Amino acid sequence: MAPLTPRLVVPIDVKKKPWEQKMVDWTGGRVRDDDSADDIKFLDLTITHYLSGPLRIVDAEGVPASPGDLLAVEICNLGPLPGDEWGYTGIFERENGGGFLTDHFPSARKAIWYFEGIYAYSPQIPGVRFPGLTHPGIVGTAPSVELLNIWNERERKLIETGHESLKLCEVLHQRPLANLPTSDNCLLGKIQEGTAEWQKIANEAARTIPGRENGGNCDIKNLSRGSKVYLPVFVEGANLSTGDMHFSQGDGEVSFCGAIEMSGFLELKCEIIRGGMKEYLTPVGPTALHVNPIFEIGPVEPRFSEWLVFEGISVDESGKQHFLDASVAYKRAVLNAIEYLSRFGYSKEQVYLLLSCCPCEGRISGIVDAPNAVATLAIPTAIFDQDIKPKRLGHGPKLRRLPDVLR
């Protein structure tokens, strides 16, 4: 019995530097390994994401995946591109995308991370080193026309009506509520720009910013080596796309450009479960298309034994009580963690960047005890080179000299 031979479907020329190739990080290589955050500050976000795909998936007999099937995608192997072992974490400018805490941290920042095998460290955030839980931020199938129309319709409606509804949370809506289809900087692969076909697609194709029913930009940090994702198939061939490689990410990816973004390679194994979408996924919504992927976590995640955990409740920074709002609770948990860690010699921007990309866990701990949702953020203490647990004073936190490389 001979094993199935893996095939190279999106080639990388190993003789070329990564930035000389078409397939690079999600920005197309526009962020550089240097000490300036200007590239982050002025990054045109309409030019996203650079992806690999769409791949037409067929079975061993050559029969393509069909709508109603489930596509089981195993993450066999993945990592940074050899010779390009570095990545970055950024805070977007409030006026250019922002992030979960943009009202607290409105200015662009950038940390560069270098990789030593499984570990990452950053000159901009000294005193931390952690193993990466490397994963693709994006993996998804293509929507059908019907599903695409649902997306465009509901997101358009949010933009039209959202600001009024969201008057409660004026802070959040400084950010764009959604990104509707636009022909600005559309990346459409081999389709010839300027043609009627290109124009038509650009005007109706959903932008890849959010995760949706098809998977997409879910940014789930546990989709690492050995895990398996079951994607619904909406069109013949499934048309699988993937990319946005992350060396590591914290739950929430709070600073938005918050993972350790990198160029990388990815080896996948695909299996078609015929009829599996209907068998396993029940829609939660008005149509049969309102489903979501499911996945299995792999067995080689980094193992930590000690965690320091921060709580948040759904009372916002102004003291206002919200009703069981997990987003507000998580925001407060993250702010609590930032305040706490800033006592150990870090600036708050450093911690914000760190919590975006280190293997921290964001939990919905309580969602029923009205009016307070409780969210928690758990940080593995082993990533620090100092003891960050509270202790009797006199044995307290050492002050670390603030690095001056962070701008």
Task: List the interface residues with its own copies, window 91-120 (CB under 8 A).
Answer: 99-100, 114, 116-119
- For the packed helices 326-341 and 348-357, what is the interaxial angle rounded to 10 degrees? 120
Burial class (CB in 10 A: 0-12, 13-18, 19+), 130: buried
Residues 41-80 that bind its own copies (CB under 8 A): 70, 72, 74-77, 79
Of 20-28, 56-64, 233-241, 279-287, which part binds its own copies (CB under 8 A)? 279-287
Q: Which of 23, 202, 262, 374 binds its own copies (CB under 8 A)?
A: 374
* Dist CA 289 CA 67 (whole Å): 10
The reply on whether position 162 binds its own copies by CB under 8 A is yes
Q: Which is nearer to its own copies, 235 or 351 (CB)?
A: 351
State the minimum distance, in angstroms, from the CB of residue 195 to its own copies.
30
- Which of 191/403 has CB closer to its own copies? 403
* Binding to its own copies in span 282-321, by CB under 8 A: 282, 284-287, 290-313, 315-321
Q: If binding is defined by CB under 8 A, does position 389 make contact with its own copies?
A: yes
- Distance of closest approach, residue 392 Cβ to its own copies, in angstroms: 6
With CB under 8 A as the contact rule, the residue among 188, 324, 345, 347 that binds its own copies is 324
Q: Output the DSSP codes for 283-295.
A: --SSSTT----EE
Give yes or no for residue 123 binding its own copies (CB under 8 A). Answer: yes
Residue of 232, 276, 350, 355 that binds its own copies (CB under 8 A)? 276
- Tell whether residue 275 is a contact of its own copies (CB under 8 A): yes
CA distance from start to end of the chain: 58
Q: Residues 6 or more apart from 81 whose CB is under 8 A from it?
A: 12, 18, 262, 263, 264, 265
Identified binder of its own copies from the candidate list 1, 60, 196, 399, rule CB under 8 A: 1
Which residues, at least 6 apart from 157, have a Cβ–Cβ distance to it below 8 Å?
none
Cα gap 24→287, rounded to integer Å: 36
Question: Binding to its own copies by residue 393, rule CB under 8 A?
Answer: yes
Minimum CB–partner distance for residue 201 and its own copies (Å): 22
Question: Which pair of tokens denotes residue 95?
Answer: 């006026």
